Amino acid sequence: MRTTRVLVASAAVAAAVAFASPALAEESGAEVEGSSQSSVEGSGQDSVEGSSHSRVIAVPSVIARGGQLRISVSDPKCAHGMGWVSSKAFEKTVRLRPGMPATATATIKRDARPGSYDIKATCNGKTVFGPDAFTVIGGGAQGGLGGSTEDGATGADMAVGGGLVAAAAIGGGVFWMRRRAENRA
């Protein structure tokens, strides 16, 4: 009898996870495979004078206004000497610390407009671009009624939730009916 309960509960949980995960991953735009990298690279379209091996990486890839952004520039010209990184969203042009990769920390303007921004790195006369290297988001979460009216559950979220509730209700009803029949016998 206990085995039946455990099997029913396990099957319900497995079904819920199996059916909900792909829908949520698709809706969020997340990559299912290879999504362990938390930085954003220029998706192979980095424009570099004379080299295709240079990369500009910004971490985190999504940042709020006023936040600190870590930038890494992988290019031999940036390993030694002086280098600078700039973006329309930075408070000021920031000096790169030499190394492989060269690194810098930039502060995002408090009045930066939400959207994607490029990063331009200049090292010893060479310029490396990181197109759409990071995204600035608007303000923090809204409190009160305003936060609940702009964003919320989509139709897909409601369908998945309703399906899970219905599956749980049907599973519970079947279990209750079988248990009731066992007690009568």
Per-residue pLDDT 10s for the chain (185 aa) are 566 776 677 677 767 766 665 555 444 444 333 333 333 333 333 444 444 567 888 888 888 888 898 998 888 888 887 889 999 989 999 998 888 888 899 999 988 899 999 999 888 888 888 888 888 887 655 555 555 555 667 888 888 989 999 999 999 888 888 877 777 76
Residues 118 and 177 in one domain: no
Asked if 78 and 120 touch (Cβ cutoff 8 Å), the reply is: no
Residue 120 lies inside a defined structural domain of this protein:
yes
- 132 CB contacts (<8 Å, ≥6 apart)? 40, 42, 43, 116, 117, 118
CATH number at residue 59: 2.60.40.1930
Residue 130 lies inside a defined structural domain of this protein:
yes
Distance between CA 53 and CA 70 in Å, rounded? 20
- 148 CB contacts (<8 Å, ≥6 apart)? none
**Residue 69 phi, psi (nearest 5):** -115, 130
Query: Model pTM?
Result: 0.47
Residues 168 and 96 in one domain: no
Q: What is the DSSP secondary structure assignment for residue 44, as one 8-state letter? A: T
Residues 163 and 124 in one domain: no
Residues 109 and 171 in one domain: no
Residue 165 lies inside a defined structural domain of this protein:
yes
Q: Domain range holding 162?
A: 156-185
